[in-house]
Every structure is written in structure tokens, then in C-alpha cells.
Amino acid sequence: MTRMLTVGAAQLGPIQKEHTREEVVQRLLALLAQGAERGCDIVVFPELALTTFFPRWFVEDISEADHYYERSMPNEATQPLFDEAKRLGIGFCLGYALLDDDGHRWNVQTLVERDGTIVATYRKCHIPGHQEHQPDRPFQHAERYYFEPGDEGFGVWKAFGGNVGMMICNDRRWPESYRVMGLQSVEMILCGYNTPIHYVPDPSQDILQGFHNSLVLQSGAYQNGTWVVGVAKGGVEEGVIGLGQSCIIAPSGQIVAQALTTDDELIVANCDLDWCARYKDTLFDFDLYRRPELYGRITEQRGAVQPEGPQYG
Ligand code: CDT
């Protein structure tokens, strides 16, 4: 018996400042329609998929940015997406900024089942960039000003006939994100991202953005025996070049589909969730082989310490 899940990674090209939510939702609907034609059970959209990547600008008064946040989900602008997905019997995962009733600002992804019910809303845990205005940069990456770090960790949910987890962009660079989900028997991780090619603190990394993206997604998939779906918002958005290269990774670590453009583009893969067991029950049989008694530093310590002895460098 196999548990097949056909997944679409719905990459988006740039969303400029002047684009309205209604225009963006039309693009999401077009990708959803392609997903229906190609037999998708679920279509995954990127991080902050309803607006431009607004943390690239700093505003002294954060309330001036309130219009970039959703106050509820679904809402008037996104209801057509929820309605059409339900009509088509396709689930989806949507990234957006949320300003909740208690005034908290989160960078979230909501997972919606094929019948239109909301499975979960994940809050991004690893918030990159900086908190204060850095006027010397060519563009800001002030996510730490605009978002609180998620306080609920990395859940895994019974959905789509398997065990589904979520993470958002920078989370994918941290092995702990995958492992915490691996320890909950995750079989598919959904990850939207916005990755500028230019990394201001160390431009030597610019040319490696694509390599680092596939490196972390592939190793996270393999080391935890899980499918991983990485979905970009790419292209030139407000003058900033964003990485595309959305991809779907098998539990073997192999890339089974990858976007060719940096525009709106749907890539699709038929994913056998039972393939995960080939890794989870053998080389990565956690119960048999892991040594948690030796991993205490992972949770007890945040930054690195120096070994004892002379200090070099
Ligand atoms: N959106 C997001 O998390 N982007 C970061 C950019 C690097 S940190 C400035 C990423 O990890 O891709």
C-alpha cells in the first residue's frame, strides 16, 4: 500500500508595493487552477504571499505598517481562495503577516485541508535580520522589528493522510527545526521563503544562496526521512533580487522537482509518504540509534562556548 500525495509548490514572482491583495489573490487562484489540472492534493504558497516583503523598509511608527498584516484568516481578500480551493477539493498552505487580537505580530503559515477546514497556523520561530533601522544598508531586513519569534515551536499535524509540519524561510537553515518535527514522525514539511540574493552582512555568501538553499532543504529531508517542499517568492521585488529555485525534496534527499524561473510557476511532484519509512526505519531509526543523553547542549545552551585552553584568533 502506498500513500500518495500530489503536492504543488506554487512559487510567486515579485509582489511590488503597489500590488493589491486582490491582484495577488488572482495570481494565487491561477496557480491553484494549474494545481487542479495537474492533480494536486495540496498547493503550497510562499512566505508573506499576500504582500511585498515589507521588512525591507523601516518605519519609525510600526502602526504605519499595519496594512501589511492580516487581522484574520480567511478575510475578505482571501475568501475567494478558500472558496475555490474547497470547490476544487485542494488543500493549501499560505504564508502571511498576522496582527492578532492581542496586538502580537507574527510571520505565519496557515494550512488548510481539502474540505476548507484550517488544520493549523504556524508562527515562524527563527526570525532573522535586525531590529533597529540600519540606514547604511542598501535595503533593510528588519524582520526582528516587525515580528515576534513564534512561541509554539514546530508542530506536526495529522492531515492529508500523513504527518505534516511547517516552517518558514530562515527556519530551514537550522537543523533543530527539522529534528523537532522528525521526532514527531513528520512525513512532509512545508516551507515558504523570501531569500534576497544579496546578504548584506557578508556578500561572499551571495553567489552561494542557491547552493545553501538546496543544501539545507536536502539535508533536512534526508536526515529526518521526510519530504520537504520549499517555495520561494523570487525575482526582482522593489529592486531587490530574490532567490527562486523552489523545490520538492524526497526523503532520500534528492530534488524531484525544481522551479526553472523566478516568476509565478507551479512545480508538482507525486510524493509517496510511505517512502519516509525507508529512512525512518533503517539508517535513521531514531529509537535505536539516537543518543539524546549526549545532546544536552542543544537545548541547555544558546550560543557557542570555547573549549578550555589557549584562545586562538
Ligand atoms: N525571510 C527570511 O527569513 N529570509 C532570510 C534571509 C537571510 S537573513 C537576512 C533567509 O534565511 O533566507
Residues with CB under 6 A from ligand 1: 47, 128-129, 141, 169-170, 173, 193-195
Residue pLDDT, tens place only, 176-193? 999 999 999 999 999 999
How many CB atoms within 10 Å of residue 289? 9
60 classed as catalytic: no
What's the gap in Å between 169 CA and the centre of ligand 1?
6
> Average pLDDT, whole number, for the chain?
98
Is 313 within a domain? no
pLDDT above 70 for 60: yes
Number of domains in the chain: 1
Q: Classify residue 306: in a domain, yes or no.
A: no
Output the pLDDT for position 313: 77
Which of 193, 202, 211 gets mutated to test ligand 1 (max ligand atoms within 8 A of its CB)?
193
The answer to whether residue 2 scores a pLDDT higher than 80 is: no
Q: The domain containing residue 275 runs over which residues?
A: 4-300
- Is residue 37, in this structure, part of any structural domain at all? yes
pLDDT value at position 90? Answer: 98
Q: Which of 169, 247, 271, 276 is catalytic?
A: 169
Give the integer Cα–Cα distance in Å for 279 and 185. Answer: 11
Residue 12 lies in a domain: yes
For position 1, what pLDDT does the model report?
59
Burial letters 69-99, b for 16+ CB under 10 A, else e: bbeebbeeebeebbebbbebebbbbbbbbbb
Catalytic residue among 47, 113, 187, 237: 47
Asked if the structure places residue 217 within a domain, the reply is: yes
Whether 188 is covered by a domain: the verdict is yes
Mean pLDDT calculated for residue range 153-159: 98
46: domain CATH number is 3.60.110.10
* 215, part of any domain: yes
- pLDDT bin (cut points 50, 70, 90) of residue 109 is very high
The average pLDDT across 44-60 equals 98
Q: Is the pLDDT of residue 228 over 70?
A: yes
| Residue at 310 is within a domain | no
pLDDT digits (tens, 9 = 90+) for 132-146: 999 999 999 999 999
- Judged against a pLDDT cut of 90, whether residue 247 lies above it is answered with yes
Percent of the chain with pLDDT over 90: 98
Q: How far apart are CA 312 and CA 301, in angstroms?
A: 22
User: Is the whole-model pTM more than 0.85?
Assistant: yes
pLDDT (tens digit per residue) in 29-42: 999 999 999 999 99
Q: What number does the ligand 1 atom closest to the CA of 200 have?
A: 9
